[in-house]
Amino acid sequence: MHRVTVIGAGFGALTAIRKLRALDKQLQIDVIAPASEFVYLPGTIWIPTGLRQPEDLLIDLKGFFQRMRVNFHAARVTGLKDGGRTVKTDSGEITNDGLIIACGGRFIKKLPGIEHAITPCEGIPAALKIRDRLAQMKSGTIAFGFSGNPKEPTAMRGGPMFEFLFGIDRYLRKMGRRDDFKLVFFTPAEKPGQRLGPKAVGGLLSMMKKRGIETHLGSRMKGFTEGSVIMEKVTFDADLIIFMPGMTGSKWFADTDLARSQGGMLRADQYCRVEGQDKVYVAGDSGSFPGPDWLPKQAHMADLQADAAAANLLAELAGKVVSHTFKAELLCIIDSFDTGSIVFRTQKRNVVTPSSILFHWSKRFFEWSYLHKYR
Ligand SMILES: Cc1cc2nc3c(=O)[nH]c(=O)nc-3n(C[C@H](O)[C@H](O)[C@H](O)COP(=O)(O)OP(=O)(O)OC[C@H]3O[C@@H](n4cnc5c(N)ncnc54)[C@H](O)[C@@H]3O)c2cc1C
């Protein structure tokens, strides 16, 4: 009987666990994560406007782990030894015959004054802060922005910021409060949303214009104060700042000999193998994978990579050739509180649909069906 360790309990990790168990009923699966719970991050865009409560998006995984016959270890990984065959954690060591790393990304919080911005990548607590501040504010300026990792352009997350922006705009309109607020969008990118495809950029900017959202584009970020956003070419006042910084890899990667990209992610090949390692795989936001320059850091990609990683690892353990690759595919619904637009991009196609109530409900339905597997 082989033993596989999975690090994380997010999108990539849970998909890897399902695939491992589906392919091998005997396998010993050890999972290491700080808590046996799953946070459905895409749904956190609806917390500030009250469409979701934390308990809708935080799933207790005890039942799922039992069904998958997984040994769960509540711990934080701190490093590796024996070429990845032993995982070091803050509460002991776990050995394996093969390893899948899916511990997500880390956000670069280096800008001076970043503590004055709410960073929604931090999940439910950050979304709750936005909700509470929005409820307290009678009027004022709300600034929404994102930036990237200059050393790795794909290590960024812009899509959700458009969703917070358009969602809150629409929500304020529905409440009859929009005239009391100024909404501002800022980013160092000249063309925000470019990775969603050329069609998306024009659409996003014209939507901002139509909704009376001020923009500050193409100027380097310098920092924040309690009441302002400072960019190289402009400084503007803001009462609430919502900002998604660029991403890098987990801190513990630095204490290992795992190959890392310029941006600090684990360097992997098309089979999700970490370069230069034996039976060490990576899936999701932790990895830097070969692919087009728009390859997204998305839950959908994490799922596709986890599927390939799990199948390849089991093939290797069985002495077979690894052959499973993943498609480079960007697929998301950019939601605006009660409507949404589908963005789809592959090497050959780029589709951006008009905004429709149908796609808002599709996003809600997708969330329900995705979470159903883990409840
Ligand atoms: C607001 C928001 C909206 C989004 N919307 C979408 C969307 O609409 N569509 C889409 O496809 N994607 C969306 N995303 C992106 C998506 O959520 C991520 O790409 C996805 O979560 C990445 O999956 P992952 O498995 O790599 O990491 P995660 O889901 O972040 O999971 C990482 C796991 O590793 C654990 N972990 C971390 N450090 C350690 C450690 N040291 N030891 C052990 N365990 C550790 C964490 O606790 C967690 O369980 C959104 C993200 C945000 C923040």
Angle CA(78)–CA(84)–CA(89) in degrees, nearest 5? Answer: 25
32 touches ligand 1 (CB under 6 Å)? yes
Please answer whether residues 38 and 374 qualify as being in contact, where contact means their C-beta atoms are separated by less than 8 angstroms: yes
**Residue 139, pLDDT score:** 98
pLDDT means per 10 residues, the chain with 375 residues, are: 98 98 98 98 98 98 98 98 98 98 96 97 95 97 96 89 98 98 97 88 93 97 98 98 97 97 97 98 98 94 98 98 97 96 93 96 98 95
Q: Measured between alpha carbons, how far is 88 from 256 in angstroms, rounded to an integer?
A: 11
What is the maximal distance between C-alpha atoms in the chain?
65
- Work out which ligand 1 atom sits closest to the CA atom of 43: 3
**Residue 190, pLDDT score:** 92
Give the Cβ contact number of residue 70 at 10 Å: 21
Give the Cβ contact number of residue 111 at 10 Å: 17
Tell which one of 265, 285, 304, 305 to mutate to probe ligand 1, the residue whose CB is within 8 A of the most ligand atoms. 285
**Residue 30, pLDDT score:** 98
121 touches ligand 1 (CB under 6 Å)? yes
Beta strands 228-231; 221-225: pairing state? antiparallel
Radius of gyration of the chain (CA): 21
Residue nearest atom 19 of ligand 1, based on CA coordinates: 298
Residues found in the chain: 375
What is the Å distance from ligand 1's center to 209 Cα?
31
Question: Of 136, 145, 127, 226, whose CA–CA distance to 183 is shortest?
Answer: 145
Question: Of 14, 10, 31, whose CA–CA distance to 104 is shortest?
Answer: 10
Residue nearest atom 4 of ligand 1, based on CA coordinates: 42
273 touches ligand 1 (CB under 6 Å)? no
Helices 159-174/198-210 angle, 10° precision: 30
**Residue 289, pLDDT score:** 97
What is the Å distance from ligand 1's center to 104 Cα?
5
**Residue 346, pLDDT score:** 94
**Residue 317, pLDDT score:** 98
Cα separation of the two ends of the chain: 28
CA 258 to centroid of chain Cα atoms:
22
43 touches ligand 1 (CB under 6 Å)? no
| pTM of the predicted model as reported, rounded to 2 decimal places | 0.97
